[in-house]
Structure 1
């Protein structure tokens, strides 16, 4: 049986237009005019709800196995479905064991089996001592590798120095998979921290000064030089500083295989607005000032930043110092550095896009097709095209809502977005022809699966 989803606003690679999305089984059969809908198709009148391709989030910390008190596959994938995200690629750290060997990858797969409301795929890790595991991980199905040039903030995943990188990069280049780099170096951070020895750690300005732009700049310049030397696919995760854009632009103009992401929190918040003690805003690299935020938006429009992904990084309340009570102001140096936003990313970005004149076509490119290409999933998902999986979102562009804990759906209702008024709301999410989320309710049976190429 075929189904026709009819909308005045269907977002296709050729642009947004009134159309019917024809679905047969798990796949898109065609995108056509209403007059071309087969007589035997079941009609779904979506009216003015936009039909977007399911979003692809390539930067998610699910933390399972090992730290499910932080997050897990059931809660993370439910939150993603509520936010219109239909595929996530899971980061190799924060889980125990970290995904740095094939055995650890298999443990993660066993832990995820039957738990997922959407599809997922794994990243592997490139750490201090696993150079011999790089190619076996590729053969086992990871979509690329994540590394840290600085201590990652939790045990179980080691940073990698230049010598260790140089030992790993020939294997990474041979795999043809991307290396995702947390681009901060310790030197500028150590110097800034020393200069702030007597500063008030409850103040956001102190935290911001402790993670200077130079830490990102030096790391990105290091990685561009290594990319030039080893010819591997370099991906810069969660770009925070706009000062690095010139270096990145030159590298790409040179023909180096470099891609760049940024995140909703860098595109929505500004340092000037963050109250002292508001550790829910802490992330690394940090949220910078208003001018920096606007420069990131301009870089997205110019194509200097390729995509927007969440860096969903949840934790229990105590790790954000949010369980102290009102008598004691939390300290940024004692709080976990991560922001959870899986269920809110699309409304956050739509709110900001609407204020700047960007369209759903931009959002589909930044949040679906570009991250899908990074992870090598474009043949299955990332755009509404015949032959692709029937994975899509019904999005109400006219709705407004104020964020409450009930909108979050991830494990702990901790978010700097609570109380924010956002524009645009996901009404329904479809995964391979099956509705998995509708008006706040989820399918009772998780049908997501690992994407194995």
Structure 2
């Protein structure tokens, strides 16, 4: 007996969309058959919207424990599910303690237990002084390691210098672990000359990203190590990445917002690296189309409204968008002539491949039955959000694409904390 059948005229499979029926047993997809096929099932639903694999967001700052008043596992995962995201991988910093030791990782896992509406995995952190903790963290099941090459914004997670980066690459190469890098060269950054957005943008030039990416590519080659560039903002760095084994991601805000249109004092637009100009945005889209950029993830980095007060020189840098990534990207992608299948690749199968989540991000036999009913032609105005603090640059925006329903391992998400805490290499 099949537990659940979901039928749609537009099921997004690995080889593209087509009419189909997805059969689920014990939380896994067991078969994909013709939409009209007869199946003996406990529940059989014929949808009038597209059926997508659950999205995978590998760049989320949940901040719990320690800064739970910024965001928490309950609110973040509820927002994720509302946006069609069924798996997130949490960043190691902004929580206290940061996940730079096995003991700290277990503190975070204990904080997350029993709160998660979707599945949650964890990155470890690479900072000065924790070289001996990296392999134990890898063995404890983190999906890889994040480092900064410039100040992170929180004192407990300092950046690596050139020698530190080399040492981390050498250590991680022994276990083939992935290093994910906030790639801005601290030596190329300056303090903003004032509170305006142009002054903030000038203080974080594209050259800072290019120099850091050069260092990552060089170190990865030297040690035959795996590396990934986080939240690529500077399109001028794309030629450096083309033809290398170093992967890269970008974010919805870099693909849909432009420096020229950021209002004075609107610090909800502030993030690091910064949102650049419209021409840069066009080149990022070409990088996606050409496959130089591998995936699109949120870099959901929320804070209390009080931290966003002041000018662009002092406000916290982070964009809140976990719930909105799919419609934000789809609205712009459609306008630029891309298909919904492209968005699925960038936001589901691409991030899943990055983290090695073999059971996620795809509709295929053997995969987890993480599924999303999505109406690509419906429109809505951004209003209520499930983030702890709904401060976002997309407030009031008119977007296309509405998530109707979300299933996690074949069970419709209803707000109950049924998400699992994931470990690398554990199905």
- Between the aligned partners of 2:293 and 2:320, the Cα distance in structure 1 is 21
- Retained in 2: the 8 A contact 1:353–1:359? yes
Matched, 1:44 2:37: no
1:442-453 maps to which residues of 2 (within 5 A)? 442-443=414-415, 445-452=416-423, 453=426
Deviation at 1:41, TM superposition (A): 5.5
Aligned residue number for residue 375 of structure 1 = 355
TM-score, normalised via structure 2 length? 0.97
- Retained in 1: the 8 A contact 2:29–2:369? yes
Matched, 1:28 2:21: no
Aligned residue among 390, 410, 418 for 1:413: 390
Aligned residue among 425, 428, 437 for 2:402: 425
- Between the aligned partners of 1:356 and 1:226, the Cα distance in structure 2 is 36
Aligned residue number for residue 434 of structure 1 = 411
Aligned residue number for residue 249 of structure 2 = 261
Deviation at 1:39, TM superposition (A): 4.3
State the secondary structure of the residue aligned to 1:74. helix
- Retained in 2: the 8 A contact 1:4–1:37? no
1:7-86 maps to which residues of 2 (within 5 A)? 7-40=8-41, 42-47=43-48, 49-86=49-86
Aligned residue number for residue 153 of structure 2 = 153
- Between the aligned partners of 1:288 and 1:124, the Cα distance in structure 2 is 29
Aligned residue number for residue 325 of structure 1 = none
State the secondary structure of the residue aligned to 1:175. coil
- Retained in 2: the 8 A contact 1:20–1:37? no
State the secondary structure of the residue aligned to 1:16. strand
1:171-190 maps to which residues of 2 (within 5 A)? 171-190=171-190
Aligned residue among 225, 232, 244 for 2:237: 244
Deviation at 1:25, TM superposition (A): 2.4
Deviation at 1:165, TM superposition (A): 1.7
Q: Which runs of 5+ in 1 are unaligned?
A: 322-329, 437-441
- Retained in 1: the 8 A contact 2:138–2:144? yes
Aligned residue number for residue 314 of structure 1 = 302
Aligned residue number for residue 336 of structure 1 = 316
Cα displacement string for residues 80-101 of structure 1 (whole angstroms, at most 9, x for unaligned residues): 0000000000000000000000
Query: After TM superposition, what 4+ stretches of structure 1 lie above 6 angstroms from structure 2?
Result: none
- Between the aligned partners of 1:403 and 1:74, the Cα distance in structure 2 is 21
Matched, 1:231 2:229: no
Deviation at 1:40, TM superposition (A): 4.5
Aligned residue number for residue 377 of structure 2 = 398
Aligned residue number for residue 141 of structure 1 = 141
- Between the aligned partners of 1:119 and 1:8, the Cα distance in structure 2 is 27
- Between the aligned partners of 1:167 and 1:222, the Cα distance in structure 2 is 13
- Retained in 1: the 8 A contact 2:12–2:50? yes
Cα displacement string for residues 201-226 of structure 1 (whole angstroms, at most 9, x for unaligned residues): 1x211111111001101111111111
- Retained in 2: the 8 A contact 1:90–1:120? yes
- Between the aligned partners of 1:434 and 1:134, the Cα distance in structure 2 is 36
Cα displacement string for residues 16-57 of structure 1 (whole angstroms, at most 9, x for unaligned residues): 01111111220112111133232455320102x110000000
- Between the aligned partners of 2:312 and 2:164, the Cα distance in structure 1 is 31
Aligned residue number for residue 112 of structure 1 = 112
- Between the aligned partners of 2:217 and 2:35, the Cα distance in structure 1 is 49
- Between the aligned partners of 1:116 and 1:403, the Cα distance in structure 2 is 24
- Between the aligned partners of 2:187 and 2:110, the Cα distance in structure 1 is 39
Aligned residue number for residue 276 of structure 1 = 264
Deviation at 1:174, TM superposition (A): 1.4
- Retained in 1: the 8 A contact 2:5–2:41? no
- Retained in 2: the 8 A contact 1:23–1:30? yes
TM-score, normalised via structure 1 length? 0.92
State the secondary structure of the residue aligned to 1:333. coil
Q: How many residues align?
A: 423
- Between the aligned partners of 2:198 and 2:333, the Cα distance in structure 1 is 27
Matched, 1:359 2:355: no
- Between the aligned partners of 1:427 and 1:246, the Cα distance in structure 2 is 39
1:282-297 maps to which residues of 2 (within 5 A)? 282-297=270-285
Aligned residue number for residue 439 of structure 1 = none
